[in-house]
Amino acid sequence: MRDLRLGLVFIIVIFVLAFTQIYNLYTKLDQHIEQSRKNNVQTKQQFQLNSEDDIVVVYNRVPKTGSTSFVNVAYDLCKRNKFHTLHVNVTGNNHVLSLANQYKIVQNITHWDNMKPAVYHGHFAFIDFAKFSARKPLFINIVRKPLDRLISYYYFLRYGDNYRPYLIRKKHGDTMTFDECFLKNQADCDPNNMWLQIPFFCGHSVECWKPGNSWALEEAKKNLINNYLLVGVTDELNDFVNILEQTIPRIFKGAGDYFLNSNKSHLRRTVQKTEPSEETVRKIQQHIVWQMENELYEYALEQFHFVKSHSDKLQSFMYEKVRPK
């Protein structure tokens, strides 16, 4: 009988010890699970914080479209909104980058974390980041009526602008009007010079830079829709800035009001410009390059007005019927 009691006591002791051990293991497991949950929450919060700063905007600005006015906004706001603005200055103002330089720029924009969030700008053609297996930034741009852009550039080379009025331009002293230039078939007013907005959106393929190439036009349209966050127009810059502020407030917070009220944002205007005659305009509009460039402009304008019409509406969204609970 005594041996039976000792046996029962032994079994009870073993059971208590085993239960205690199992209880301690479960307690430690619960603590580990809870700590993992907290770590995951902290990681997600940290990721969300970092994702706000992991924004890169690339503005491959077409010359003479109002780009300086817009860039001034970015430079004036970058300190206040805590982002970086960087100018990509290409040797000789060459709009086509070598393959090696395309690769370097893609790597810089993708991995230069100390500069993020950032706005990169420069006069260069669209770069396909997917070609280099890199994350695509937020591309933006502005387009202008092709003949207006050409005439503005023509007189800019002769008279400069009010941004740097004392800088001597390439054609300084040449007082020939655009009409006179066109009648004399001079190179500066060649309609082929309008072939610029299409290749800027088309990219770095050889076909992009052949004036009048229909494939280039279609490629430019495709890139405009698929690879650009927003493309505005020169005559509606205020709306362009406002939509960017609504869409990317991390960068453009306060940009709309600043653009309207700051004199610094409206610095660059060609000093002297003479409008062409109706006859000159009529003849240029018969040229295939004007027709294609104008088609891209009208295409961009329609898309911009579509985006604008939906941005003007008071709209919100919410998530519901989330399963499992």
What's the DSSP call for residue 273? -
Catalytic member of 84, 87, 121, 287: 121
Q: Are 60 and 120 in contact (CB under 8 A)?
A: no
Nearest CA-CA partner of 99 in 225, 203, 214: 203
What's the DSSP call for residue 212? T
**Active site (annotated) includes residue 123:** yes
Q: Are 219 and 211 in contact (CB under 8 A)?
A: no
Rounded to an integer, what is the distance from CA 138 to the centroid of its chain? 4
Q: Please give the Cα distance from 316 to 297 (Å, whole number).
A: 31
Q: Which amino acid is at 37?
A: R
Catalytic member of 95, 123, 204, 287: 123
Q: Please give the Cα distance from 191 to 79 (Å, whole number).
A: 42
Query: Residue 315: phi, psi to the nearest 5?
Result: -135, 140
Long-range contacts, stretch 36-41, CB < 8 angstroms, 24+ apart: none
Q: Please give the Cα distance from 313 to 320 (Å, whole number).
A: 22
From residue 109, give the alpha-carbon distance in Å to each of 75, 112, 207, 273, 294: 18, 6, 26, 38, 32
Q: In the chain, helix, strand, coil percent, each to 5?
A: 60, 10, 30
**Active site (annotated) includes residue 266:** no
**Strand ranges in 80-215 using DSSP code E only, listed in sequence order:** 84-87, 118-121, 138-143
Kindly list the catalytic residues.
121, 123
